[in-house]
Amino acid sequence: MIYSFAMLTAEQLHRVQALEKELGTTIVAFSAQDVAMEQLTPEALHRLREEEERTGLTLLAVR
């Protein structure tokens, strides 16, 4: 399972914005994505990590 920025309905957005105002802080909403992680060979995992270093991103191999 991984999490990504949530696509909010108008009602959800309204509720989150109201909570932000009440708490005086910014809130970021995420939603769960049910994905299967790919089993990489050691060589593929090494390449993935190299690209993470080069790009400054976190990369996930999924099915």
The set of long-range contacts for 41-49, using a CB threshold of 8 Å and a minimum separation of 24, is none
Q: Does the structure show a pLDDT above 90 at 1?
A: no
State yes or no: pLDDT of 56 exceeds 90: yes
Whole-prediction pTM: 0.66
Alpha helices, H only, 1-63: 10-23, 42-55
Collapse the DSSP code of 26 into the 3-class scheme (helix H, G, I; strand E, B; otherwise coil) and give the result: coil
pLDDT for the residue 22: 98
Q: How far apart are CA 15 and CA 23, in angstroms?
A: 12
Domain boundaries, the chain: 2-55
On average, the pLDDT of the chain sits at 97
Q: Which whole number is the average pLDDT over 7-36?
A: 97
